[in-house]
Amino acid sequence: MPVESAQNILKQHVPIQSRSETVPLLAAQGRMLAQAVYAQAPVPSFARAGMDGYAVRTADIKGATPELPVTLAVLGHVYPGEDPSLFLGQPQTAVRVLTGSPIPTGFDGVIKQEWTNLDAKQVAIFHDIAPKTNVGAVGEDIPQGQQVLAKHSYLNYESLGILASLGVTDVTVLRPLRVGLIFTGSGIQTPGTPLNPGSIYNSLMYPLVTYIQSHGGVVVFKEYSDTSSHNFANIIRQYGSQVDLIITTGGVSVGDQDIVPKALAALRAKILFQGVAMKPGTPVLASLWQGHLILSLSGNLFAALVNFHLFYWPLLAQFFDNDQFALKQQTTTLTKGSMPPSKLRRFVRGQSNEEGVAITAKSHHASVLSDLIDNDCLIIQPQNTQLQSGDQVQILTWPR
C-alpha cells in the first residue's frame, strides 16, 4: 500500500478532539489553547524608564552640552516597584530613576546617567534629548485589549512567558491526544540497569515520549510486552481504553517473536493496513481495537521513527484540526551525497541548510539511530531512482 493511502486510512479513524481542561501555566507546555487570549490590561501598565538615569522634562534641558550643562533639582528617587505619584514633574526638576522605574507624571524623557554628573541633589545634564527618549509607553509590550494569542495556538517557550506577563496563572487548553506506548521484544531494557548480554536499551521510548509530549499529546502508559502475544493482548485489554491512540514498537515482521499480528487477531482488532511501500519501516501496521487506533511501528530504530513521522503528524493535525502539526513537504536541491536506486520509495536522513539539503549520514541502515542527531528532515527518494548531488528533491519536515 502506498504511504498516502495509509495516511488517508489513518485519518479516517482519528477521533476529533473537542473537550478542554484548565491547567497551570507551567503544565501547559506543548498544549493547545482552547480560546483566544486578550490583554485585560496593558503591559506595562505604567510608563517606565528604559535606562538608569533621571526622569526629566525634555523642554528644560534643550540645548544642554558638556560646556553649558543645565542643572535640575533632584526631587528624590523612584525605584522599580515604587509609587511614582509622590512626585510631579515641575519645571527645572528631575527624579532619579532606574531601568524599569515608573515615571512620575509631568516628565517626558529619561536622560541616561552617563550624560549627567549623577548628583543626588542638583544634577548637571550634559546633553539634550527628544521627548519620549528612554521612556517605554503604557502598553509598549502589549496594548490593552489586544489579542495576544489566537485560539488553538500551541503553547511553548515565549507564548507561556507572554501569558505570565499578563498575570495569567491557569490556561484552558484542549484535551491532549492521549497516547499509550507498548514496547515489544526480548532484550530491551530501560536505561538504569546494567545491560544483559545481547540486550540493548529502549532508546526508542525517549524520542517517542518527547515528540508526543511536546506537541499537544500525553503519554498515559508505557508498558513492555514480553514475547508472548497473550501478554501483548492483555496489556491492550487492560489499558487500551484509556487512550485515543496506542503506539507499539517492534514485533511486526515475520520472526518467531513478531507477536503483534497474532495478538491483534486474538483481540479481533480490525487491520487497517499491514505493510506500506516505504523503506525503512515496511512492516508498519495499523489497526482498530474497539474504536481505539493502534499504530504498530517497526522495531528498527530509524524505521520506527520514519513510521512515526509519516503517520503520527498527519494524525495529530487531524486530531486537533490544525495544520501546524502536519508534515511539510517542499522541493529543494540535494547539495551533497548520493543514494543508489531502491525498489521501494525510500526516506533518507537529510540535513537541511540554506542552499538545500545534504545527505551526511554515515550509515543508512534502519537500525542506526545516532546519525539522526544532525539531521532534521527526510528526503523522499522515489522508487527505482538514484539520488545525486544537484538533483531537485522533495523533503519532509515535522513540527520542531
Contact 357, 334 (CB under 8 A): yes
Residues 226-245 that bind ligand MOO (CB under 6 A): none
Closest CA to 47 of 124, 106, 111: 106
Binding mask 303-332 for ligand MOO (x = CB under 6 A): x-----------------------------
Residue 200: left if φ>0, alpha if ψ -120 to 50, beta else—which one?
beta
342 binds ligand LQZAQKY5 (CB under 6 A): no
Q: Please report how close the Cβ of residue 310 comes to ligand MOO at its closest, in angstroms.
A: 12
299 binds ligand LQZAQKY5 (CB under 6 A): yes
**Three-class secondary structure of residue 395 per DSSP:** strand
Nearer to ligand MOO, 279 or 292 (CB): 279
Nearer to ligand LQZAQKY5, 143 or 255 (CB): 255
Nearer to ligand LQZAQKY5, 203 or 322 (CB): 203
Q: Please report how close the Cβ of residue 344 comes to ligand MOO at its closest, in angstroms.
A: 8
Binding segment (CB under 6 A) for ligand MOO, from list 10-18, 91-99, 219-227, 275-283: 275-283
279 binds ligand MOO (CB under 6 A): yes
Residue 68 CB coordination number (10 Å): 8
Burial 206-217 (b: 16+ CB within 10 A, else e): eebbebbbebbb
C-alpha cell at 99: 531601568
Closest CA to 317 of 215, 191, 195, 187: 215
Sequence letter at residue 78: V
253 binds ligand LQZAQKY5 (CB under 6 A): yes
Residue 6: left if φ>0, alpha if ψ -120 to 50, beta else—which one?
alpha
Residues making contact with ligand MOO (CB under 6 A): 279-282, 298, 300, 303, 366
Binding site for ligand LQZAQKY5 (CB under 6 A): 183-185, 188, 200, 202-204, 249-255, 258, 280-283, 298-301, 303, 366-367
